Chain A
Amino acid sequence: MESLLNQLPVGLSIGAVLLLIALGLTFTFGQMGVINMAHGEFIMAGSYTAYMLQDWAGGEAVIVALPVAFAVAGALGWVLERAAIRHFYGRPLDTLLLTWGVSLVLQQAARDLFGAPNVQVVAPSWLTGRIELLGGNLPYARLFIMALAAACVVGIWAYMDRSRQGRRMRAVMQNRELAAVSGVATGRVDQLTFFIGSGLAGVAGVALTLIGPVGPSIGTYYIVDAFLVVVAGGLGQLRGAVIAAVALGMLNSYAEFWTDASLAKVIVFAVIVGFLQFRPQGLFVLRSRALT
Chain B
Amino acid sequence: MSARLRGYALFAGVAALALVVAPLVLPAFRLDELAKYLCFAIAALGIGLAWGQGGMLTLGQGVFFGLGGYAMAMYLKLHDADGDLPDFMVWSGVEKLPALWKPFESPVVAVVAVVAVPVAVATLLGVLVFRQRVRGAYFAILTQALAAAFGILIVGQQALTGGTNGLTNFYDFFGQDPEADSTQRTMYYVTAVVLGVLYLAARQLVKSRFGRLLVAVRDGEDRVRFLGYNPATVKTVTFAVSAGMAGIAGALFVPVVGIISPSLLDVVPSLELVVAVAVGGRYTLAGAILGAVAMNYAKTSFSEQWAGGWLYLEGALFIVVMTLAPKGAIGLYEQARDALARRRAPAAPAVPVGKEAAA
Residue of A nearest to B320 (CB): A101
**What are some 9 contacts across the A-B interface (CB < 8 A)?**
A88-B322, A101-B318, A224-B148, A225-B145, A228-B145, A261-B156, A269-B142, A269-B146, A274-B128
Interface residues of B in 124-162 (CB under 8 A from A): 125, 128-129, 132-134, 136-138, 140-142, 144-146, 148-150, 152-157
Interface residues of B in 284-315 (CB under 8 A from A): 308, 311-312, 314-315
- Asked whether any CB of chain B lies closer than 8 Å to the CB of A211, the reply is no
**Are A268 and B149 in contact, CB atoms less than 8 angstroms apart?**
yes
- Asked whether any CB of chain B lies closer than 8 Å to the CB of A33, the reply is yes
Most chain B CB within a 10 A radius of its CB, from A109, A111, A231 = A231
Which residues of the other chain, B, contact A262 by a CB distance below 8 angstroms?
152-157
Stretch at the interface among B25-33, B105-113, B239-247, B270-278: B270-278
Chain B interface secondary structure, helix, strand, loop or mixed?
helix
- Asked whether any CB of chain A lies closer than 8 Å to the CB of B57, the reply is yes
Chain A interface secondary structure, helix, strand, loop or mixed?
helix
**Are B322 and A98 in contact, CB atoms less than 8 angstroms apart?**
yes
User: What are the nearest 6 A-B pairs in CB distance?
Assistant: A262-B156, A101-B318, A104-B315, A105-B315, A280-B132, A265-B149
**Are B267 and A224 in contact, CB atoms less than 8 angstroms apart?**
yes
A153 to chain B minimum Cβ distance, whole angstroms, is: 22
Interface residues of B in 162-202 (CB under 8 A from A): none
How many residues of chain A get a CB closer than 8 Å to chain B's CBs? 46
**Are B308 and A111 in contact, CB atoms less than 8 angstroms apart?**
yes
Residue of B nearest to A267 (CB): B149
**Are B323 and A87 in contact, CB atoms less than 8 angstroms apart?**
yes
How many residues of chain B get a CB closer than 8 Å to chain A's CBs? 43
Given A101-B314, A108-B311, A268-B149 in contact, is the A280-B133 Cβ separation under 8 Å?
yes
Interface residues of A in 216-237 (CB under 8 A from B): 220, 224-225, 227-228, 231
- Asked whether any CB of chain A lies closer than 8 Å to the CB of B269, the reply is no
- Asked whether any CB of chain A lies closer than 8 Å to the CB of B326, the reply is yes
A224 to chain B minimum Cβ distance, whole angstroms, is: 5
Once bound together, how far apart are the Cα atoms of A152 and B152, in whole Å? 31
Q: Mark A71-99, 1 if CB is under 8 A from B, else 0.
A: 00000000000001001100111101110
Which residues of the other chain, A, contact B219 by a CB distance below 8 angstroms?
none
Given A227-B141, A273-B125, A276-B132 in contact, is the A102-B319 Cβ separation under 8 Å?
yes
Which residues of the other chain, B, contact A276 by a CB distance below 8 angstroms?
128-129, 132, 134, 138, 142
**Are A104 and B311 in contact, CB atoms less than 8 angstroms apart?**
yes
Once bound together, how far apart are the Cα atoms of A94 and B322, in whole Å? 7
B316 to chain A minimum Cβ distance, whole angstroms, is: 6
Residue of A nearest to B157 (CB): A262
**Are B157 and A273 in contact, CB atoms less than 8 angstroms apart?**
no
Which residues of the other chain, A, contact B312 by a CB distance below 8 angstroms?
104-105, 108-109
Interface residues of A in 253-292 (CB under 8 A from B): 260-263, 265-266, 268-269, 272-274, 276-277, 280, 291-292
B161 to chain A minimum Cβ distance, whole angstroms, is: 10
**Are A84 and B323 in contact, CB atoms less than 8 angstroms apart?**
yes
Once bound together, how far apart are the Cα atoms of A82 and B324, in whole Å? 15
Once bound together, how far apart are the Cα atoms of A276 and B131, in whole Å? 10
Which residues of the other chain, A, contact B275 by a CB distance below 8 angstroms?
97, 100-101
**Are A231 and B322 in contact, CB atoms less than 8 angstroms apart?**
no
**Are A273 and B129 in contact, CB atoms less than 8 angstroms apart?**
yes
Once bound together, how far apart are the Cα atoms of A291 and B221, in whole Å? 10
Once bound together, how far apart are the Cα atoms of A190 and B311, in whole Å? 29
Interface residues of A in 96-136 (CB under 8 A from B): 96-98, 100-105, 107-109, 111-112
- Pick from A35, A84, A100: contact of B141, CB under 8 Å: A35
- Pick from B137, B156, B308, B319: contact of A84, CB under 8 Å: B319
Residue of B nearest to A226 (CB): B141
- Asked whether any CB of chain B lies closer than 8 Å to the CB of A29, the reply is yes
Once bound together, how far apart are the Cα atoms of A105 and B319, in whole Å? 10
**Are B137 and A29 in contact, CB atoms less than 8 angstroms apart?**
yes
Most chain B CB within a 10 A radius of its CB, from A88, A91, A96, A274 = A96
